[in-house]
């Protein structure tokens, strides 16, 4: 395992998770800004590590494994924090849909790779759109306070619902692509 810049950026996303949790529960008026700043920085490193890895040919099997793990850990922890602070049916349902899809698609991708058909479940445009809505929604919901007269929580709720719908849509796309492999009988 070689530690290159993209892998270090990915590892930093994992390391920032307990720091994000600490600031989330810190009883300071400015802690929301720090939490959202950490979340945005993590999102930027997610984009940057992929770009750097492709641009400078620094891809590695370890990096390819670790990158989605870091993303899913960050999103899962953020959603749990949001639902814990705002125990609302809509937020809990959106979080459950997103987390359930992530588990399902991760398992599907692993299984499809095992049978040599990983390419059938590669990232789709709908999946990328889902990620954008999801990350923006989480940022708004982590902040949770009105900002410049904007109803941040309401905007976050709407964006999370859109992300949840896109989540289901992208899961259907992946499952339809994999369905022939899922339903075929193998010796």
With 0-12 / 13-18 / 19 or more C-beta atoms within 10 angstroms meaning exposed / middle / buried, residue 30 is exposed
Question: How many other β-carbons are positioned within 10 Å of the β-carbon of residue 85?
Answer: 14
Q: Residues 95, 167: contact at Cβ < 8 Å? A: no
- In degrees, rounded to 5, the angle at the alpha carbon of residue 59 between the alpha carbons of residues 15 and 169 is 75
Question: CA–CA separation, 100 vs 97, rounded Å?
Answer: 5
1, pLDDT greater than 70? no
pLDDT of residue 2: 73
pTM: 0.90
Tokens standing for 31? 């802690």
pLDDT tens-digit series, residues 12-68: 999 999 999 999 999 998 999 999 999 999 999 999 998 999 999 999 889 888 998
Q: 66-125: per-residue pLDDT in tens? A: 998 999 999 999 999 999 999 999 999 999 999 999 999 888 888 888 888 777 777 778
Phi/psi class of residue 148: alpha, beta or left (left: φ > 0; alpha: ψ in -120 to 50)? left
Start-end of H helices in 56-146: 61-85, 89-114, 125-143
Q: Tell me, what's the pLDDT at 44?
A: 93
Name the percent of the chain lying above pLDDT 90. 70
């Amino acid at each position: 395992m070689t530690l290159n810049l993209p892998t270090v950026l990915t590892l930093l996303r994992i390391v920032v998770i307990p720091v994000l949790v600490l600031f989330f529960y810190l009883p300071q008026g400015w802690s929301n800004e720090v939490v959202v700043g950490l979340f945005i920085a993590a999102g930027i490193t997610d984009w940057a590590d992929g770009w750097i890895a492709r641009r400078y040919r620094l891809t590695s099997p370890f990096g390819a494994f670790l990158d989605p793990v870091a993303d899913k850990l960050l999103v899962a922890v953020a959603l749990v924090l949001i639902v814990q602070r705002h125990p609302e049916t809509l937020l809990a349902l959106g979080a459950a849909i997103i987390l359930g899809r992530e588990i399902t698609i991760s398992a599907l991708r692993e299984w499809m790779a095992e049978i040599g058909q990983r390419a059938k479940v590669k990232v789709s445009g709908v999946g990328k759109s889902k990620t954008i809505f999801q990350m923006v929604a989480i940022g708004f919901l982590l902040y949770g306070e009105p900002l410049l007269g904007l109803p941040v929580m309401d905007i976050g709720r709407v964006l999370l619902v859109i992300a949840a719908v896109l989540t289901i849509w992208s899961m259907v796309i992946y499952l339809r692509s994999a369905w022939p492999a899922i339903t075929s009988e193998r010796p």
